[in-house]
């Protein structure tokens, strides 16, 4: 089997730190490197559309809310894990570009709804399509059966550490 950079690192670790479990370290190192590459790819795609990684998450949260792609500002901040102050700044920028708009809540005037505009939806959809193609090319290194098997194994790992439920390792 062809060797990768992790194999080289494991060789050194095996020699220098014999207490390290090499199969486990190989899994962790490969997941971390793939995550780094995928994040880099997503950041590049987002940047091509004038978005930050955080903007990507915010627009994605609105899009995932379903038509009319609207969420209360507080819930949106909570969903993307940022403070209300940081949310205001981010919304100002996105609203200035015409990607979102603030809409008064029909039931509670104290609440502002954040809505994805047509332009925001167009940008988001186009960017997601570009990123999905990049990710498809990565996954194409595996045949469909291997993709299914890897999905099952990763799901099993996530459930074992509680990541499937939003928990943290060691919690």
The pLDDT score that the predictor gives to residue 149 is 97
What is the CATH architecture assignment of 49-164?
Answer: Orthogonal Bundle (1.10)
CA distance 159 to 153: 10
Q: Does 167 score more than 60 pLDDT?
A: no
Q: How far apart are CA 56 and CA 44, in angstroms?
A: 11
Domain coordinates in residue numbering, the chain: 1-48, 49-164
What's the pLDDT tens digit per position in 2-42?
Answer: 999 999 999 999 999 999 999 999 999 999 999 999 999 99
57-89, pLDDT tens digit by residue?
Answer: 999 999 999 999 999 988 898 888 888 888 888
Per-residue model confidence (pLDDT) at position 8: 92
pLDDT of residue 12: 94
Q: What is the pLDDT of residue 107?
A: 85
- Kindly give the interhelix angle for 118-139 and 22-48, rounded to the nearest 10 degrees: 140
**Averaged confidence pLDDT in the chain:** 91
Three-class secondary structure of residue 100 per DSSP: strand
The per-residue pLDDT for 169 is 59
Classify each residue of 111-150 as buried b or exposed e, where b means 16 or more C-beta atoms within 10 Å of its C-beta: ebbbbbbeebbebbeebbebbeeeeeeeeeeeeeeeeeee
């Amino acid at each position: 089997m062809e060797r990768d950079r992790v194999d080289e690192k494991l060789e050194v670790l095996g020699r220098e730190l014999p207490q390290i479990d090499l199969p486990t370290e190989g899994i962790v190192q490969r997941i971390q490197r793939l995550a780094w590459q995928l994040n880099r790819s997503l950041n590049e795609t987002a940047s091509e559309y004038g978005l930050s990684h955080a903007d990507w998450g915010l627009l994605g949260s609105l899009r995932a809310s379903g038509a009319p792609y609207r969420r209360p500002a507080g819930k949106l901040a909570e969903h993307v894990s940022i403070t209300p102050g940081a949310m205001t700044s981010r919304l100002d920028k996105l609203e200035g570009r015409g990607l979102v708009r603030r809409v008064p809540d029909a039931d509670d005037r104290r609440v502002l709804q954040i809505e994805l505009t047509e332009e925001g939806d167009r940008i988001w959809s186009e960017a997601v399509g570009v990123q999905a193609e990049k990710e498809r090319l990565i996954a194409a290194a595996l045949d469909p059966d291997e993709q299914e098997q890897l999905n099952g194994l990763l799901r099993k790992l996530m459930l074992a550490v509680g990541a499937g439920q939003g928990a943290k390792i060691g919690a």
